[in-house]
Amino acid sequence: MQVIRNIREVQARADAERAAGRRLALVPTMGALHAGHLSLVDAARERADRVWVSIFVNPTQFDDPADLEAYPRTWESDLEACRKAGVDVVFAPLASEMYPEGADTVVEVLELSKPLCGAARPGHFRGVTTIVAKLLLATKPHLAVFGQKDFQQLAVIRRMVRDLNLDVEIVGAPTVREADGLALSSRNLRLDAEARRQALVLSRALDAAEGAVSAGERDGERLLSLVREEIARAPRARIDYAELRDPDTLARAPDRLGAATLLALAVFLDPASPGAPPGGAVRLIDNRVLQPSD
């Protein structure tokens, strides 16, 4: 496995692989790798001859400096995980490489970036699309794999690739969960034991909504009320948003569900002490596409 930090070097490696007729896949990450990331590597391996992983904690997608500072960095264990997973190249540039002095260009998907996490975190998706565009241009993959847990991110990246006519396939891979249902996330490392237990309200709320839909419930507000009631069972959980959206356009779902509908959640898990330092609350997201049968 080769670690590359320079854009020109990784571009040259990509050119050589393409010239040899090999199909390249990229798995973009911010490190702190877990089984969810490795499932993306597996999905990439099924579709390509070479699998590359990028590790870069992108500063432009954090609206809160404390959140950026608190983001876990686990470089040595990340490299070991990549080696064991059979990754061929790790692209790990410095911030100065991706954002040289005087950098003044951004990439933004306007409408899809507005709701959900876009409303709660201004500028977040501008940072995401800018860095993903840069990573795709640097590594020149035939395909890139992203997790469906970040549903809006996946939708925004797909729209960016389509609108800019980028020659890359975007693959969405299923959310990976712990045995108790918690979606895997690098942010889970920041949860204390009690917050980790209470974080299960996200998957329970999704399960409750899915069960209600299966039982015939179609009223959107009643479904959201059910979700809020479930999350309220966790004293340290605060809802950032709980919304029903069209899974393709992210437009608000109609009052009565009649087709596949995205239920998207973002919840803060507060620290045990009210006087904890800034950045103590951990924000988790999860989602489920509800499928009314009639």
Least Cα distance to 28 among 107, 113, 89, 99 occurs for 89
**Residue 37 known to be catalytic:** yes
Cα–Cα distances in Å, from 75 out to 119, 137, 238? 31, 24, 31
Catalytic residue among 34, 37, 124, 142: 37
- For the chain, the residue count is 294
Phi then psi for 163, rounded to 5 degrees? -70, -30
First-to-last CA distance in the chain? 51
- Alpha-carbon span 179 to 199, nearest angstrom: 13
Supply the DSSP symbol for 216. Answer: T
- Alpha-carbon span 153 to 147, nearest angstrom: 9
Three-class SS state of 49 = coil
Least Cα distance to 16 among 165, 136, 139, 133 occurs for 139
Tell me, rounded to whole angstroms, the distance of Cα 27 from its chain centroid.
12
CB 264 within 8 A of CB 245: yes
Active site residue ranges? 37
